[in-house]
Amino acid sequence: MAENVESKENQVSRHQEVGHKSLLQSDALYQYILETSVYPREPEAMKELREITAKHPWNIMTTSADEGQFLSMLLKLINARNTMEIGVYTGYSLLATALALPEDGKILAMDINKENYELGLPVIQKAGVAHKIDFREGPALPVLDQMIQDGKYHGTFDFIFVDADKDNYLNYHKRLIDLVKIGGVIGYDNTLWNGSVVAPPDAPLRKYVRYYRDFVLELNKALAADPRIEICQLPVGDGITLCRRIS
């Protein structure tokens, strides 16, 4: 009995350690994935950045280690070279991307907050991949509008990771569909939004979860109905929907 209680407590604290990033039913199963397949293969720099980020007050925002591993594999599978990231925070997904790209690979990275990016930047520099990153401080939408207007960026991105303000995802999609190349992939993150997409209307949800939920629901419906893309929604991290542009 005492042993049972202790092991339950252990599971809870270990799950907290990884930031409640999994929608898997069993915490133990998620921990198993991390300890068996993710942490042993996690590059040293990513481990260092994950540990720095864990001490930051907004650490709930970071990409989980298993999702970082997934992004890295995906980028290599599609031979991505020219990429974009909207929503950088301390840079865990950015570093995963920078490490996965070839030496001449590029990431246009945007965030309204530069301070958090600068927290992770020394680790990115030490890993020798900072030259691949073009960081722009500020809201992403005007940058996208500028690129659309410019004309020369149409159909040029192999991969775009969207992990920022959920109330703008549909606005991003309207623009990104032109910027990603045919056959390229846009990944929208947090599309299961803490499981709240299936919560009953009166469920006790945290304020920000409740606020963004309708936007996530609307996005999911719009992506499913968009004939210009093929989609695949995966229960990795907080849910990621991959959209492959087909026309």
R_g over Cα of the chain: 18
Query: What part of residues 52-91 is at the interface with ligand SAM (CB under 6 A)?
Result: 61-63, 86-90
Q: How far is CA 166 from the centre of its chain?
A: 12
Rounded to a whole number of angstroms, the minimum distance from the CB of residue 92 to ligand SAM is 4
Rounded to a whole number of angstroms, the minimum distance from the CB of residue 53 to Ca ion is 13
Query: What part of residues 161-180 is at the interface with Ca ion (CB under 5 A)?
Result: 163
Query: What part of residues 188-217 is at the interface with Ca ion (CB under 5 A)?
Result: 189-190
DSSP structure string for 58-87:
TGGGSPPHHHHHHHHHHHHHTT--EEEEE-
Dihedral through CA 53, CA 56, CA 59, CA 61, nearest 10? -90
SS3 187: strand
Contact between 106 and 134 under an 8 Å Cβ cutoff? The reply is yes
Q: Which one, 86 or 180, has the nearer CB to ligand SAM?
A: 86
Type and span of the H or E element at 184: strand 180-189
Query: What part of residues 113-132 is at the interface with ligand SAM (CB under 6 A)?
Result: 113, 116
SS3 247: coil
Rounded to a whole number of angstroms, the minimum distance from the CB of residue 112 to ligand SAM is 5
Rounded to a whole number of angstroms, the minimum distance from the CB of residue 82 to ligand SAM is 18
Query: Site map for Ca ion, 128-167, x if CB under 5 A?
Result: -----------------------------------x----
Alpha carbons 201 and 218: distance in angstroms, whole number:
15
Name the residue whose CB lies closest to Ca ion.
189
Contact between 57 and 82 under an 8 Å Cβ cutoff? The reply is no
**CA nearest to 212, candidates 187, 189, 229:** 189
Rule CB under 6 A: choose which of 30, 70, 92, 212 binds ligand SAM: 92
Contact between 185 and 78 under an 8 Å Cβ cutoff? The reply is yes
Q: Which stretch binds ligand SAM (CB under 6 A): 23-31, 34-42, 105-113, 226-234?
A: 105-113
Please name the residues in contact with 45: beta carbons below 8 A apart, sequence gap of 6 or more: 95, 99, 123, 124, 126, 127
Rule CB under 6 A: choose which of 139, 167, 178, 231 binds ligand SAM: 139
Q: Which one, 61 or 148, has the nearer CB to Ca ion?
A: 61
Q: Which does 236 bind (CB under 5 to 8 A by kind): Ca ion, ligand SAM, none?
A: none
Would you say the C-alpha torsion 194, 109, 129, 56 has a positive or negative sign? negative
Query: Site map for ligand SAM, 187-226, x if CB under 6 A?
Result: ----------------------------------------
Q: Which stretch binds ligand SAM (CB under 6 A): 3-11, 158-166, 175-183, 194-202?
A: 158-166
In the complex, the residues that contact ligand SAM under the rule CB under 6 A are 61-63, 86-90, 92-93, 110-113, 116, 139-140, 163-165, 168
